[in-house]
């Protein structure tokens, strides 16, 4: 059984824009967290503080990878919209006189 696409290329591009917007929101969260960690390090000294900062810094590359994944999903949705348009145009040409 084939899958069905129930939206237009324009709707797909709109979803892509939503995904990209959420990716930007996610990047802002990463930046805010980094700023909070930096501020906290100025206010909290000691081994526990260092461990806390190290934990965030260890996980930060994973956060950045997640942001890249979100961007990739947005690009894939744009590519899908383009493919839907091309397919529709190809099918329409089969019916031209």
Cβ contacts of 60 within 8 Å, gap of 6 or more: 30, 34
The predicted model gives 28-33 an average pLDDT of 97
Q: Quickly state the pLDDT bin for 41 (edges 50, 70, 90).
A: confident
Q: How does DSSP classify residue 36?
A: H
Residue 72, domain member (yes or no): yes
Give the pLDDT confidence score for residue 56 in this predicted structure.
93
Cα gap 33→27, rounded to integer Å: 10
Residue 34, domain member (yes or no): yes
What's this model's pTM, rounded to 2 decimal places? 0.82
The boundaries of the domain holding residue 64 are: 25-88
Residue 37, domain member (yes or no): yes
As a whole-number percent, the residues of the chain with pLDDT over 90 amount to 74
The average confidence (pLDDT) of the chain is: 93
Q: Count the Cβ atoms, other than its own, within 10 Å of residue 65.
A: 10
**Residue (of 84, 29, 71) closest to 37 by Cα position:** 29
Residue 64, domain member (yes or no): yes
Give the pLDDT confidence score for residue 4 in this predicted structure.
84
Give me the number of domains the chain comprises.
1
Residue 15, domain member (yes or no): no
Residue 8, domain member (yes or no): no
The predicted model gives 16-20 an average pLDDT of 98
Question: Given a cut of 80, is residue 97 above it in pLDDT?
Answer: no
């Amino acid at each position: 059984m084939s899958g069905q696409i129930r939206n237009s290329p324009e709707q797909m591009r709109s979803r892509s824009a939503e995904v990209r917007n959420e990716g930007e929101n996610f990047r802002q969260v990463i930046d805010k967290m980094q700023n909070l960690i930096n501020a906290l390090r100025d206010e909290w000294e000691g081994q526990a503080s260092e461990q806390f900062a190290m934990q965030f810094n260890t996980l930060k590359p994973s956060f950045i990878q997640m942001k890249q994944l979100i961007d990739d999903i947005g690009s894939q949705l744009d590519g899908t919209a383009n493919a839907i348009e091309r397919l529709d145009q190809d099918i329409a040409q089969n019916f031209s006189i």
